[in-house]
């Protein structure tokens, strides 16, 4: 098993602090345009060892609220599944969204859900306020 990373090597471009119940904390994120669209680096700190497998979603949303791209599934962590993340471990999750996901005016919705039921995990922002739809909105 690879050693746990417990410190970020550099501060994210955009700090967050959102915390999911039964899931991790989003420490922050980086956004970078790519020839195919946009690349996000999401920096997660694992919480208590989860009892259920959760899936991560990222939705690119246009200026009128329309979803233009999405990436759902297991987060990247060197092949280590979410349920094996160690408490306090930092995971860098790289997500690529194709097409016009990198155009001006986009925002990105990020959250966690139970893939068996589709139910989203509740989330609180860095100030402790519960967000109503189970996601945080990331902006460039």
Cβ atoms of 55 and 74 within 8 Å: the answer is yes
Q: What is the pLDDT of residues 15-26, one digit of tens each?
A: 999 999 878 999
> Residue 1 pLDDT more than 60?
no
Q: What is the pLDDT of residues 53-91, one digit of tens each?
A: 889 999 999 988 899 999 998 876 566 777 888 899 998
φ, ψ for residue 107, nearest 5 deg: -130, 170
In this prediction, residue 2 has a pLDDT band, given cuts at 50, 70 and 90, of low
Give CA–CA dist 121/26, Å, rounded: 13
Q: What is the pLDDT of residues 105-124, one digit of tens each?
A: 899 999 999 999 999 999 99
Domains of the chain: 14-118 (2.60.40)
């Amino acid at each position: 098993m690879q050693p746990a990373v417990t410190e970020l090597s550099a501060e994210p471009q955009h700090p967050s602090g959102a915390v999911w119940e039964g899931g991790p904390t989003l420490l922050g994120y980086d956004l970078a345009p790519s020839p195919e669209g946009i690349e996000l680096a999401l920096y997660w700190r694992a919480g208590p060892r989860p009892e259920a497998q959760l899936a991560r979603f990222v939705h690119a949303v246009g200026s009128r609220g329309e979803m233009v791209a999405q990436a759902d599934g297991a987060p990247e962590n060197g092949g280590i599944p979410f349920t094996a993340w160690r408490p306090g471990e930092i995971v860098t999750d790289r997500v690529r969204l194709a097409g016009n996901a990198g155009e001006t005016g986009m925002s990105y919705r990020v959250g966690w859900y139970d893939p068996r039921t589709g139910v989203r995990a509740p989330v609180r922002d860095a100030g402790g306020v519960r967000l109503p739809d189970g996601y945080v909105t990331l902006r460039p």
